[in-house]
A = this chain, B = another copy of it.
Amino acid sequence: MKLATLRTRYGTTAALLLPGVGFLPLPAGDVGGLLAGPDWRGTVAAAVDTAAAGATVPEREADLAPLLPRAAKVICCGLNYGDHIAEMGRDRPEFPTLFVKFADSLAGARDVLEVAGSAKVDWEAELAVVVGATLHRADEAEAAAAIAGYTVANDVSMRDWQNRTLQWFQGKAFDAATPVGPVLVTADEFPAGAGFTVRGFVNGEPVQAGDTSTLVFGPARLLSYISRFTTLRAGDLVLTGTPGGVGMGMVPPRFLADGDVLRTEIDGIGVLENVLRIHPQDQDLHQQLVTKESAA
């Protein structure tokens, strides 16, 4: 089953993708709201049973919102691909490196990404996990059973801000710059551990490709680990990390430019395609202040 969140003139709605037909709106404001309901599979089945003719939105006409526009927790894992760790000559980590974004950080699968105030905008193609049930100090089996499904994300990172201090957060949480979607594929249809390829492209040129079976901390293990310190709930989102091939790691480093097209895809889930609008010269208030102080 594939679920999406669509923008409509009345706000957003959760929707079911009917292959070859289009998106059928569901009685929930977004996929997170649907999953938080008491019986979301029943809700979907009832909507299909009672769907009126012409109730669907053709796939090409759908305006895809961020999959989880109100996610309470968006937690990301850093260095997590065996192949990437090997190419970097690093040791396999004992613990996952975790940081966060906000629901505000998320963007739709075809949204233009507007970034002001950064000159080092980089890409990170990732598999993301959508939580489907409450997890508190859960073991791996419980965590696996609580995975609603998977989606595609690009952890677009402002490296200049990320590296201003030791903590990456400020370079990771720019509003509306992390595309997520186009759909959630339910866990029963996506055996993540079997090995799917996460791919990133810039203007059509392949830059990243990673095999999800080489994740050091797989989806269930990540969710279990996180749940030891904070409760996860239906509609929360966990990004599993990016494989090698980010711009910062290139020699010389390469960053996204205004007008670039960033494509992110995972077979069996779908494709994100986002045009970048970058305004690196945009006034940075801190620099203004520093200049003002220096002049004073």
Residues of chain A having any CB pair with chain B under 8 Å:
72-73, 78, 93-100, 102-105, 116-117, 137, 139-140, 158, 161, 164-170, 173-175, 221, 224-226, 228-231, 284-286, 289-290
Contacts and interface: CB of A to CB of B under 8 A. Distances in A.
A276 to B, nearest CB: 16
Given A100-B169, A140-B285, A161-B229, 10 more contacts: A72-B103, A73-B102, A94-B290, A96-B165, A97-B166, A98-B165, A98-B167, A166-B166, A224-B285, A228-B286
Contacts of A96: 165
17 contacts: A72-B102, A95-B164, A95-B165, A97-B167, A98-B169, A99-B167, A99-B169, A100-B100, A139-B285, A140-B289, A166-B166, A173-B229, A175-B230, A224-B285, A225-B285, A228-B285, A228-B286
Summarize A's interface: helix, strand, loop or mixed: loop
B285 A117 contact: no
Contact of A116 (B95, B137, B225, B290): B137
A230 B102 contact: yes
B284 A228 contact: yes
Contacts of A93: 165
Contacts of A286: 95, 225, 228
A225 B290 CA distance: 12
Nearest to A143: B285
A166 B169 CA distance: 12
A114 B1 CA distance: 40
A99 B224 CA distance: 22
Contacts of A174: 229-230
A97 B105 CA distance: 19
Of the listed residues A116, A139, A229, A289, the one surrounded by the most CB atoms of chain B closer than 10 A to its CB is: A229
Contacts of A284: 228
A139 B289 CA distance: 9
B165 A168 contact: no
A229 B117 contact: yes
